[in-house]
Amino acid sequence: MIYTVTLNPSLDYTVSMDGFELGRTNRTTSEQMLPGGKGINVSIVLRNLGFESTALGFTAGFTGEQIAREVQNMGLCTDFIHINSGFSRINVKLKDYDGTEINGMGPAIEPNYVEALHEKLKQLKAGDLLVLAGSIPKSLPAAIYSEILMRLQNRGILFVVDATKELLLNALQYKPFLIKPNNHELGELFDVTLDTREAVVAYAKKLQEKGAGNVLVSLAGQGAVLVDETGTVHMLAAPRGKLVNAVGAGDSMVAGFLAGWLEKKDYEHAFRMGVAAGSASAFSALLATGTEIEQVYASL
Ligand SMILES: Nc1ncnc2c1ncn2[C@@H]1O[C@H](COP(=O)(O)OP(=O)(O)OP(=O)(O)O)[C@@H](O)[C@H]1O
Ligand SMILES: [Mg+2]
């Protein structure tokens, strides 16, 4: 079974406007409300590729109920822990102002809820995959990922960590099966700028020395590099297509890689599926469908 963890899921309220001005009443011309969060994105793309997973994390208030409902309506399994106070955040995204967003904080998560998550994770068995993706909300201890991994280590569970800075570095000692930094995130760990596929290889290997298994480095429009756990280097330029919305491309890539690996236990295939899923999502307004991913895969 695959489990994804989204500690601070959101309702993403994505709006278009004819012009946006500070200090004025701005009115939307289109709007959309969808559940968001990196773990949830991974679960959605896995589902689109025919793989079931269970989305875990914390929800609160009516927004949290709506997140769980929407995710279930999409056909995903959920096992969120519902917090009795506060509300899950709404993230406002201005569609025509690429990257302009107002992201909420989310609820305060008391230690008893964190313990409830650890309790739930105890049910994982050897061979299960656990995906930890995204940043940690302020109300949670910064070490929560390491704490989860420490408690589950040496049980044959395969860890996938998509995080940045110390969160990522601290996870490496628990030998994650897969990490997926982008080139900027990899570079900032070593205080260097990495802007070509060739340049990331040496740094991906440094993370393997610290414990990482497969290191998948994405470079947005420049494609990706996988240094697999046997040390073999795989490289692909990004497939050509029209960029529509790259939000969730990285999460799609994680899902594609896992689906590919589960299908064939072959890293070249997993890598290609990762690139295909990432790019297919970048070429589509929402996360890519299975058919869209297959089409891009066939073009690689
Ligand atoms: N402009 C693009 N053109 C083609 N493919 C793209 C583009 N942007 C992203 N991709 C594909 O998606 C993959 C992941 O993208 P990216 O490097 O942006 O991930 P990320 O920075 O982790 O994104 P996220 O915001 O989801 O965390 C890339 O390796 C590539 O295959
Ligand atoms: Mg990312």
The predicted pLDDT at position 277 comes to 98
The predicted pLDDT at position 95 comes to 83
Residue nearest to atom 1 of ligand 1 (CA): 221
The predicted pLDDT at position 112 comes to 96
Q: Is 286 exposed, middle or buried (0-12, 13-18, 19+ CB in 10 A)?
A: middle
The torsion angles phi and psi of 280, rounded to 5 degrees, stand at: -60, -35
- Determine whether 251 is an active site residue: yes
The predicted pLDDT at position 138 comes to 84
- 21-32 burial, b if ≥16 CB within 10 A, otherwise e? eeeeeeeeeeee
Q: Is 54 in the pocket of ligand 1 (CB under 6 A)?
A: no
pTM for the full predicted model: 0.96
Residue 229 is assigned to a structural domain of this protein? yes
277 and 295 in contact (C-beta within 8 Å)?
A: no
pLDDT tens track for 80-115: 999 999 999 999 999 877 778 999 999 999 999 999
Assign residue 187 the CATH number of its domain.
3.40.1190.20
Q: Which amino acid is at 233?
A: V
Q: State the number of CA atoms in the 13 A half-sphere of 219 facing the CB.
A: 22
The predicted pLDDT at position 144 comes to 92
Residue 98 is assigned to a structural domain of this protein? no
Residue 93 is assigned to a structural domain of this protein? no
DSSP 182: B
CA distances from 197 to 109, 160, 182, 203, 274 (A): 40, 22, 11, 11, 16
Residue ranges with CB less than 5 Å from ion ligand 2: 250
Nearest-angstrom CA–CA distance, 162 and 243? 23
Nearest-angstrom CA–CA distance, 217 and 14? 28
Give the count of domains, the chain: 1
The predicted pLDDT at position 163 comes to 94
The predicted pLDDT at position 142 comes to 83
Q: Which amino acid is at 120?
A: K
Q: Which residues on neighbouring strands pair with residue 6, listed in sequence order?
A: 57
Residue 164 is assigned to a structural domain of this protein? yes
Which stretches within the chain are classed as H helix?
Answer: 38-48, 61-73, 111-121, 144-152, 165-171, 183-190, 197-209, 249-264, 267-282, 290-299
Ranges of residues in the chain whose predicted pLDDT is under 50:
none
Nearest-angstrom CA–CA distance, 222 and 38? 22
pLDDT tens track for 136-189: 888 888 889 999 999 999 999 999 999 999 999 999 999 999 999 999 999 999
SS3 label, residue 256: helix
Mutate to test the pocket of ligand 1, among 185, 188, 225, 253 (most ligand atoms within 8 A of CB): 253
203 and 186 in contact (C-beta within 8 Å)?
A: yes
CA distances from 179 to 39, 52, 73, 219 (A): 14, 21, 29, 14
Residue nearest to atom 13 of ligand 1 (CA): 278
Residue nearest to atom 5 of ligand 1 (CA): 279
Query: For residue 75, is it left (φ>0), alpha (ψ between -120 and 50) or beta?
Result: left
Residue 80 is assigned to a structural domain of this protein? no
Interhelix angle 267-282/249-264, rounded to 10 degrees, is 150
Listed residue (176, 233, 171) closest to 200, CA to CA? 233
156 and 127 in contact (C-beta within 8 Å)?
A: yes
Residue 77 is assigned to a structural domain of this protein? no
Residue 99 is assigned to a structural domain of this protein? no
Q: Which domain holds residue 261?
A: 39-59+109-299
Which stretches within 74-130 are classed as H helix?
Answer: 111-121
Residue 92 is assigned to a structural domain of this protein? no
